[in-house]
Amino acid sequence: MLRLDIDERRPPRNGSCECRHSFRPRHLVECWLRLGRKPTEVSEMLRLFIFSCFSFAVIAGAAHASADVLVDVEIHEDMPNDAPWTFARGPTTKYAQAAFAWNALPKKYLRGGIIGDRSNPFTLRATARINFPTGEYDLLLRSKDLARLLVDGEVVIEQPKRLSKNADGHEVTPNLLPAVRPNHRPPPPGHQEFTLKHPLGGTHEIVLEAVVGGKGLRADLGDLCVAVAGPNEELFRILSPDRLESFPLTDEAWAAWSGRANAHVHQLDTEHRRKAASADDEYWQKRHQQARHHYEDQPHVVVPAVESQDQLANPIDRFVAVRLEEKSLRAAPLGSDMEFLRRVTLDTVGVVPTLSEIERFTTDPPSDRREQLIDRLLGDPRWADHWVSYWQDVFAENPNILKASLNNTGPFRWWIYESFFDNKPMDRFATDLILMQGSKYSGGPAGFGMATQNDVPEANKALILSKAFLAANLYCARCHDSPTNDYTQKQLFSMAAMLRREALALPQTSTVELEGVGREPLIQVSLKPGMQILPHWPLDELGSDELLAGVLRNASDPREWLAAIVTAPSNERFANVTVNRIWHRYAGRGLVDPIDDWHDATPSHPELLNYLSRELVTHDYDIKHIARLILTSQTYQRQVLAEDTDQRHLGERWFASATRRRMSAEQVFDSLFSVAGKKVHAERLTMDPEGRRPINSFLNLGIPRRAWQFSSLSNERDRPALSLPVAQSANDLLKAYGWREARQDAVSVRDETITPLQPLVLAHGTIGRRLVGLSDDHAVTELCLHDVSLDELVDTLFLSFFTRRPSDYERKVTTEFLDSGYQDRVVAGAVAIKDAHAWQRHPVSWSNHLHPKSSEIMLRIENRAREADLPTARLQQDWRERMEDILWALVNNPEFMFIP
Partner 1 sequence: MPANRRDFMKYVGGTAIGSQLLEPAGASARESNAPALQGTADNCIFIWLGGGACQLDTWDPKVRGDAKTKQPGSYYDSIPTAVQDVQVCEHLHRTAQLLDRCAILRTVHHDVIDEHAAAVNRLHTGRPTSGTTIYPSLGSITSHQLGPGEQSIPPYVVMGYPNLTRGPGFLGPEASFLYLTDTTAGPSGLMLPPDVNAFRQRRREGLLTKLQSNFLSKSEGDQKIDAYAKALEAGLKMTRSKFMSVFDLDKEPAARREAYGGEFGQRCLLARRLTGVGVRFVEVAFNLNFLNGTGWDTHNEGQLQQHLMIDELDRAFANLILDLEREKRLDRTLLVIATEFGRPAEFDGRGGRSHQCRAFSIVLAGGGLKSGQAIGQTDELSKQILERPISVPDMHATIYAAMRINPNEELYDGDRPVPITDHGEPVGELFG
- Give the single-character DSSP code of 92: S
Alpha helices per DSSP H over 425-505: 426-435, 457-470, 489-500
Q: Which residues pair with 74 in a beta bridge?
A: 94, 125
- CB count in 10 Å sphere of residue 205: 12
Shortest separation between residue 620's beta carbon and partner 1, angstroms: 34
Shortest separation between residue 225's beta carbon and partner 1, angstroms: 34
- Give the single-character DSSP code of 848: G
Q: Which of 310, 145, 315 is nearest to 216 (CA)?
A: 145
Pick the closer one to partner 1 by CB: 11 or 720: 720
Shortest separation between residue 403's beta carbon and partner 1, angstroms: 6
Count of residues for the chain? Answer: 900
Shortest separation between residue 829's beta carbon and partner 1, angstroms: 23
Burial 578-614 (b: 16+ CB within 10 A, else e): bbbbbbbbbbbbbbbbbbbbbeeeebbbebbbbbbbb
Burial 82-114 (b: 16+ CB within 10 A, else e): eebeeeeeebebebbbbbbbbbbbbbbbbebbb
Q: Is the dihedral of CA 498, 499, 504, 508 positive or negative?
A: negative
Distance CA 844, CA 848 (A): 6
Pick the closer one to partner 1 by CB: 55 or 855: 855
Burial 222-250 (b: 16+ CB within 10 A, else e): bbbbbbbbeeeeebbbbbbbbeebbbbbb
- H or E element in which residue 898 lies: strand 898-899
Pick the closer one to partner 1 by CB: 258 or 408: 408
Pick the closer one to partner 1 by CB: 549 or 763: 763
Shortest separation between residue 361's beta carbon and partner 1, angstroms: 22
Pick the closer one to partner 1 by CB: 310 or 718: 718
Shortest separation between residue 724's beta carbon and partner 1, angstroms: 10
Pick the closer one to partner 1 by CB: 200 or 640: 640
Q: Are 124 and 75 in contact (CB under 8 A)?
A: yes
Shortest separation between residue 490's beta carbon and partner 1, angstroms: 17
Shortest separation between residue 732's beta carbon and partner 1, angstroms: 6
Pick the closer one to partner 1 by CB: 207 or 396: 396
What are the DSSP calls for 771-794, one per residue? HHS--TT-HHHHHHHS---HHHHH
Pick the closer one to partner 1 by CB: 606 or 821: 821
Q: Which of 75, 213, 111 is nearest to 438 (CA)?
A: 111
Q: Which residues pair with 256 in a beta bridge?
A: none
Q: Are 497 and 458 in contact (CB under 8 A)?
A: yes
Distance CA 859, CA 852 (A): 11
Q: Helix (H, G, I), strand (E, B), or coil: what is residue 308?
A: coil
Pick the closer one to partner 1 by CB: 132 or 817: 817
The alpha carbon of residue 88 and the mean position of all alpha carbons in its chain are separated, in whole angstroms, by: 38
Radius of gyration of the chain (CA): 29
Shortest separation between residue 766's beta carbon and partner 1, angstroms: 6
Distance CA 678, CA 147 (A): 36
Shortest separation between residue 793's beta carbon and partner 1, angstroms: 15
Pick the closer one to partner 1 by CB: 629 or 844: 844
Pick the closer one to partner 1 by CB: 307 or 718: 718
Backbone angles phi, psi at 873, to 5 degrees: -90, -5
Shortest separation between residue 418's beta carbon and partner 1, angstroms: 26
What are the DSSP calls for 860-884, one per residue? HHHHHHHT-PPPPSSB-HHHHHHHH
Shortest separation between residue 142's beta carbon and partner 1, angstroms: 30
3-state SS of 147-165?
EEEEECCEEEEEECCCCCC
Shortest separation between residue 869's beta carbon and partner 1, angstroms: 11
Backbone angles phi, psi at 284, to 5 degrees: -70, -30
Shortest separation between residue 735's beta carbon and partner 1, angstroms: 8
Pick the closer one to partner 1 by CB: 151 or 890: 890
User: In Å, what is the CA distance from 197 to each residue of 101, 139, 155, 238?
Assistant: 20, 6, 13, 16
Shortest separation between residue 368's beta carbon and partner 1, angstroms: 29
Distance CA 102, CA 448 (A): 30
Pick the closer one to partner 1 by CB: 104 or 396: 396
Distance CA 456, CA 103 (A): 38
Pick the closer one to partner 1 by CB: 147 or 451: 451
> Nearest 5 degrees, angle CA 646-CA 647-CA 648?
90
Pick the closer one to partner 1 by CB: 550 or 756: 756
Shortest separation between residue 600's beta carbon and partner 1, angstroms: 12
Distance CA 403, CA 525 (A): 34
Distance from the first to the final alpha carbon of the chain: 36
Pick the closer one to partner 1 by CB: 267 or 511: 511
Distance CA 306, CA 432 (A): 42
Pick the closer one to partner 1 by CB: 134 or 893: 893
Shortest separation between residue 650's beta carbon and partner 1, angstroms: 15
Distance CA 324, CA 318 (A): 10
Q: Which residues pair with 202 in a beta bridge?
A: 132
Q: Number of helices (H) and strands (E) in the chain: give both, helices first.
A: 29, 15
Q: Which of 92, 153, 90, 147 is nearest to 127 (CA)?
A: 153
Shortest separation between residue 124's beta carbon and partner 1, angstroms: 34
Pick the closer one to partner 1 by CB: 184 or 661: 661
